Structure 1
């Protein structure tokens, strides 16, 4: 009985340590600075300086559930492929097209999406260049 309890405790300890080792890394100032630079050159005109977008035309990025969602693949796909359908975000509809930005490298896309997901009122996990690279390969 003691052996079984010991094995169970070892299993819980290992599981717990494994869970702690997968915590998110802090987002660095350089990632935010690089992301902001991309945002200012590629996103600002449509999504505005405050991330508020333009009513009924360009979707807001600040406070949008789709921006801070756990599924980062949708955002990465939109940056890579663009978007031309009417979109509903948090009960509002937007109808402008978004051009693809596949010419940005994986790190630039990761940085700008991390910036967007952590600016204004947004707080979400970082996007990594590896995530962008993996999705870019799938979309080819």
Structure 2
């Protein structure tokens, strides 16, 4: 049943016109409370970017597809260095082992996303699927993007 739902979701996303898929997310700063929790508004924006760009490969539950698309749940890539994670979004990735497991599908670059969209989706991923780690700020993405251009 879960696979049927995932298939229907993918088919529905494929039927959305390309112009509708590129709808920009309004710019906001990722807001955290004194306890470090990310606001619901930031998570909602991140989830919207995830659904548009990531769900097809990494699945609704963030568990990916064995040997094809890596999971986003509790992996060193998601929980670790933010710069490495931002660089994967900006530059794409292929043929990397994630936590000792091989994944062979190409992840394309998503450098067309704004700094805020990247920050929002990475904050969502780093706060979802059993993950509980710090938010990514748009300023961090901007700095890493600028360093890539040098």
- Report the TM range for the smaller structure's normalisation: 0.7 to 0.9
**Residues 118 and 37 (structure 1), Cα distance of their counterparts in 2 relative to 1, 3 Å cut:** same
Tell whether the 8 Å contact from 1:24 to 1:125 is kept in structure 2 after alignment: no
Moved over 6 A (4+): none
Number of equivalent positions: 116
Correspondence for 2:59: 48
Q: Does 1:102 align with 2:120?
A: no
Partner Cα separation in structure 1 for residue 148 and residue 76 of structure 2: 24
Answer 1 or 2: which has greater helix percent.
Answer: 1
Structure 1 residue 106 displacement after superposition: 0.5
Q: 1:25: Cα distance to partner?
A: 4.5
CA RMSD between the two structures: 1.3
Q: What's the counterpart of residue 126 of structure 1? A: 135
The Cα of 1:90 is off from its aligned counterpart by 1.8
Is contact 1:106-1:132 (8 Å) kept? yes
Query: Cα deviations across residues 22-74 of structure 1 (Å, max 9, x unaligned)?
Result: x88431111100000000000000000000000000011011121011x1001
TM-score (norm 2): 0.74
Query: Any stretches of 5+ residues in structure 1 without a counterpart?
Result: 1-22
TM-score, normalised by the number of residues in structure 1: 0.79
Match of 1:87 in 2: 96
Distance (whole Å) between structure 2 residues aligned to residue 61 and residue 105 of structure 1? 21
